[in-house]
Structure 1
Amino acid sequence: MSGLEKLLAGLAVLPFGLGFALTADQSDADDGTVVFSFSDPAIIESSGLVVEQGLFATVNDSGDSGRVFTVDPADGSTVAVTEWDGEPEDVEAMAPMPDGDVLVGDIGDNNAVRDSIELLRVPFGEDGPVDPITYDLVYPDGAHDAEALLVHPDTGQVMVVAKEFIGRLYAAPEKLDKDDPNRLEMLGEVMPIATDGAFFPDGEHFVLRGYGSATFYRWPSLDEVGEIDLPSQPQGEGIAVGADGAVYVSSEGADSEVLRIGLPKALRAELDGTTAAPDRDVETTEDPAADDETDATRPFWSWALGGAAGVVILLVLLRSLRPR
């Protein structure tokens, strides 16, 4: 598919996605509990979140140097900046490793032109310069943009989620090779436009987030076990799961907040392993009224509005491409 064809395809579906986002805002999402706000003026595009040892870590989005900020939630202050030489291309994510290190994902590729993506392994919470171990990853089916990076808490296997309208989960070999490219394997389809993800401590569940919602999965079956609307955020691009299973979300923006979000009882029970797996066709939320709103029953006006906008955009673009 040519670059122009990709652009046209993206524009055709983007307004429908916007229509979905408009209706998602109408639901009764949990507002979350503010844990802290980033107070470091250098943290302006938090993209990716890790919680370890009572501290939080984040990285800035593309355009920053190679560094990780470790933050004390007591006051939001930065207590360590882990730095390394080199010019990252597009850092978008982080994930904790089983041994306590952190994996930084230089995995962004908005134009889908990179031959490979890069992971950097650095010690958690170390202040000052470090010499990271780097790994190159190669997709089996061409370049993809990605913002979600996951690491299995037991095996250490690395996974990357393509940020596309058909989300796909890719897995690296369980043992990464630091000398040669590591070929990814596509495991299955997951939520579209994922901006981050994290495993739960049990290694049997993981969560992916988008800008307005989060979807929970079983591992390794990739069965969905629940979906929730997330609190409104300027540009939500971070999610982390604590050792106790608590779920935290973060957003880009200066002085942005990190929130702890509540989960419906049935979903929490599934994640804690205290109940039988819920039927895939049964809503997992506590509020019976929430059963009334599914993707199929979202207000028609939003889909119509998105569709109409898509037609207008395509007509304008096609007109501009006519020979003059």
Structure 2
Amino acid sequence: MSNQKTSPILILLLISLLIFSCVFLNGKSVHSYLVEEAEINEASGIASSLKYPGILYTHNDSGGEAAVYVLNQIGLMPAKIILKGIENRDWEDIATCYDPKDKKPYVYVGDIGDNNSSHSSSFIYRFEEPEIKDTLILVHNIQKIEFVYEDGPRDAEALMVDPKTGDIYIISKRDNPAKIYQLSYPQSFTEVNTARLIGTLSYKWVVAADFSPSGDYILVKTYNQIYRYKRRPNKTVIEALMTKPKILPYELEEQGEAVAFDAKGKGYFTISEKAENTEVKLYYYR
């Protein structure tokens, strides 16, 4: 008989997939899972892993540890990724994307919060998705994308990376209407980049955004709504965001600031912060 041990990551993933199957065979289209890990108390972003379908990444916002937390689809935390030498000034969103050139899967962490619009520059930290073989993972090779907005500092909480091009998009939070900025690929890791204003939305208080894995759909989340935009062939991102969106189902969260497509682009996740009278919950919609 073999004494080889099964990875705890694999066990948690299999459990979550089994529960998922039971939920959706019973006809439910939305389900919530309690996130009991005490470290995750101000979740402000969420993204689906490219390397491990079914695994999610999340993080806390301003002043928290410079850590990305690994979750499975039922809210269990099998691992934590520490970004060595990096500060969490005001992390607000997270994304994943394959680099168009080297084809490797990367995680992008947006240190883009700026409540008073006073920061001289903002940052996006990029690192290759690590092997998840232990409960604590230290990442040292981190690329820093420093940038400024072409029209001055902005408070933003929505970051997404286009899987078709590698371009980064940031949507401001407090501007009315919300402003859409683009950092074109390839971004510099040595010089300060300039985020170009390319358009506006018809609303404000945008707190999260995400591309589907194919890049054909875009989610934009405010505190009250989740909008889905369809990106038709040969159309740009801004052209897609100028079309009429579909309003998707959403269980109102007291402090919900995160949204992400699942690994297949068929459903989407949200996660809430811990409030005075509520617990942190992971929601899945399909």
Give the TM-score range, shorter chain: 0.7 to 0.9
State which of 140, 158, 175 in structure 2 corresponds to 1:148. 158
C-alpha spacing 1:75/1:94, structure 2 compared with 1 (3 Å): closer
Give the Cα separation in 2 of the matches to 1:62 and 1:78: 23
Partner in structure 2 of residue 169 of structure 1: 180
- Secondary structure of the structure 2 residue equivalent to 1:69: strand
Structure 2 unaligned spans of 5+: 1-27, 99-103, 132-136
- Tell me if 1:249 matches 2:260: no
Contact 1:198–1:239 (CA under 8 A) maintained in structure 2: yes
- Per the TM alignment, residue 46 of structure 1 is displaced from its structure 2 partner at its CA by 0.5
2:282 aligned partner = 258
Look up the equivalent residue of 1:38 and give its one-letter code.
V
Partner of 1:201: 213
What's the offset of the Cα at 1:233?
Answer: 1.1
**Aligned pair 1:116/2:121, yes or no?**
yes
**Relative to 1, partners in 2 of residues 1:75 and 1:149: Cα closer, same or farther, differing over 3 Å?**
closer
Cα distance in structure 2, aligned partners of 1:199 and 1:138: 23
Higher strand share: 2
**Deviations along 1:93-118, whole A, 9 cap, x unmatched?**
10102132100000000000111110
After superposition, the Cα gap between the structure-2 partners of 1:229 and 1:167, relative to the gap in structure 1 and judged at 3 Å, is farther
Match of 1:92 in 2: 92
Q: What is the distance in 2 between the residues matched to 1:125 and 1:70?
A: 11
Report the 3-state secondary structure (helix = DSSP H, G, I; strand = E; otherwise coil) of the residue aligned with 2:78: strand
Q: 1:75 to 1:104 in 2, by over 3 A?
A: closer
Deviation at 1:131, TM superposition (A): 3.1
Task: Name the residue aligned to 1:308.
Answer: none
Partner of residue 230, structure 1: 250
Contact 1:109–1:145, Cα closer than 8 Å, also in 2: yes
Contact 1:100 1:123 in 2 (8 A): yes
If you compute each CA radius of gyration, which structure gives the higher value, 1 or 2? 1
Aligned to 1:67: 67
For residues 92 and 259 of structure 1, what CA distance do their matches in structure 2 show? Answer: 18
Change (3 A) 1:75 1:38: closer
The answer to whether the aligner puts 1:131 opposite 2:155 as a matched pair is no
Instruction: Point out the structure with the larger helix share.
Output: 1
Task: Give the Cα separation in 2 of the matches to 1:92 and 1:198.
Answer: 13
Percentage of pairs with the same residue: 25
Structure-2 change in CA distance of 1:75 and 1:91 (3 Å): closer
Count of residue correspondences: 232
TM-score where L is the length of structure 1: 0.67
Q: What whole-Å deviation, never above 9, does each CA across 1:18-64 have from its counterpart, x for those lacking one?
A: xxxxxxxxxxxx98312x33222111100100112211110101011
Shift of 1:229: 5.1
Q: So what's the TM-score if we normalise by structure 2?
A: 0.76
